[in-house]
Amino acid sequence: MSDNKTMRVLELFAGVGGFRLGLEQANPHFFDVTWANQWEPSRKTQDAFDCYSRNFQSGIHSNEDITKVTDEDFQNLAPDLIVGGFPCQDYSVARTLSGEQGIQGKKGVLFWEIKRVIENTNPKYILLENVDRLLKSPSSQRGRDFAVMLATFRDLGYSVEWRVINAAEYGFAQRRRRVFIFAYKNGITFEKVQDKLDDNEIIFKEGFFAKPFPVYEEPYKGRITAEALPEDIVEISDNFSFNFHTAGIMRYGKVLTAHVNPILNKPTILQDILLDENMIDEKFYLTPENELKFNYLRGPKKIERTTIDGHKYVFSEGGMSLTDDLEKPGRTMLTSEGSINRSTHVVEVNGRKRFLTPIECERMNGFPDDWTAWMTDRMRYFCMGNALVVGLIEVMGRRIEEIEKTNKPAEVQMELSL
């Protein structure tokens, strides 16, 4: 580390700063985010970057295409920890034309930028977040993309743990399932200690995730699988498929994966994050016309459709409750939140139905009220649909701090500031 008191952090694809906020809530004096990049190529306005810069003052805030940041710039940053959420894309690779010069990934895939940053900074730790379907993509070759990622970490000299976490199962206000990936450099003290444990101990008891996010000691319905990744990453890309479960460990190309059962915490319910109704602007309440639209969207339906080549089929969709249960955590929030859409939350309070407000959406993700203020409501909803649950990162931050400070796996109690 740069000194005995702080861990230098590099934040990629920073969005509105959920990773940084979680780490700072874990310990603002330990985690020092020295450089963060957020750039939205398809937008003239950079709302997420502006929000990040407004809420954080220290460090370098980069609003440029990450592919344009030079290797030398990354080398000068020297982070101990890299964090980031990145898009789920096609991670296929191929040999270069000359063959002996190595491999090349698909252009525009941001995971290869993560690889480039790691190659140029050699951090001790990497913490990434993605949608849980990453483990099964693409549908034509299940598990290929994640296997390519694991092989990439293997070839860079890292061991990897992963876990699909539903935030509501560990006490938070949203049923949001995401896969978290923690990689650590082979040869560091933490890896040497982990090396003395078998894979089952790591997944179920002693690993990075198992300590702060406990699970029962037996896999769900016995689902546990071992596999060795092919040495040739192009062979993985072309032919390999595998059923990755919700948790696992990869060391030196050997994989053990299991479907784990979380030991549940009492969740935060929607009722607990709602504003007082006296504070709700009239624009958030549903009109009679909007209520009819939601009744249709959420109701069961069978619709005859025709494909482009003339084939007729029936699209079926089951019904769902017309309003969201205030005694349960919220469903997964999407970027379309706040629009007339089947996935949008609708709550009924005092006999009136309404959308969640942007502040309530911030609360569902664990952000302070008005974190995204100064944006339009539409962009506030969009950014929260893309954001992660901050409290999960707070817990992981405390785990990283204890690993680094004690140089051994140590239990981190979930003293959550909900």
E strands within 99-193?
103-105, 125-131, 158-166, 177-185
Distance CA 148, CA 156 (A): 12
pLDDT value at position 301? 87
CB-based burial, 57-67: b 16+ in 10 Å, e otherwise: eebebbbeebe
**CB neighbour class for 315 (10 Å; exposed up to 12, middle 13-18, buried from 19):** exposed
Distance CA 341, CA 314 (A): 21
Identify the three-state secondary structure at position 166: strand
E strands within 150-263?
158-166, 177-185, 224-228, 247-251, 254-258
CA angle 373, 374, 377 (to 5 degrees): 75
Strands of the sheet with 60-62, listed across from one edge: 60-62, 31-37, 7-12, 81-85, 125-131, 177-185, 158-166, 247-251, 254-258, 224-228
Q: Does 270-386 match 7-264+389-406 at the fold level?
A: no
Which residue type sits at 150? L
Catalytic site residue from 51, 88, 361, 383: 88
Terminal C-alpha separation, the chain: 30
CB-based burial, 379-413: b 16+ in 10 Å, e otherwise: bbbbbbbbbbbbbbbbbbbbbbbbbbeeeebeebe
pLDDT value at position 288? 96
Sketch the domain layout of the chain as residue ranges.
7-264+389-406, 270-386
CA angle 261, 266, 271 (to 5 degrees): 130
The DSSP letter of residue 161 is E
pLDDT value at position 108? 74
Answer CATH for 7-264+389-406 from 3.40.50.300, 3.40.50.1110, 2.10.109.10, 3.40.50.150 = 3.40.50.150
Distance CA 67, CA 113 (A): 7
Third-level CATH fold of 270-386: DNA Methylase; Chain A, domain 2 (3.90.120)
Q: What is the pLDDT along the chain (418 residues), one digit of tens a residue?
A: 544 568 999 999 999 999 999 999 999 999 999 999 999 988 889 999 999 999 999 999 999 999 999 999 999 999 999 999 988 888 888 887 655 556 678 877 899 999 999 999 999 999 999 999 999 999 999 999 999 999 999 999 999 999 999 999 999 999 999 999 999 999 999 999 999 999 999 999 999 999 999 999 999 998 999 999 999 999 999 999 999 999 999 999 999 999 999 999 999 999 999 999 999 999 999 999 999 999 999 999 888 888 888 888 888 889 999 999 999 999 999 999 999 999 999 999 999 999 999 999 999 999 999 999 999 999 999 999 999 999 999 999 999 999 998 764 444 444 444 4
383 tagged catalytic: no
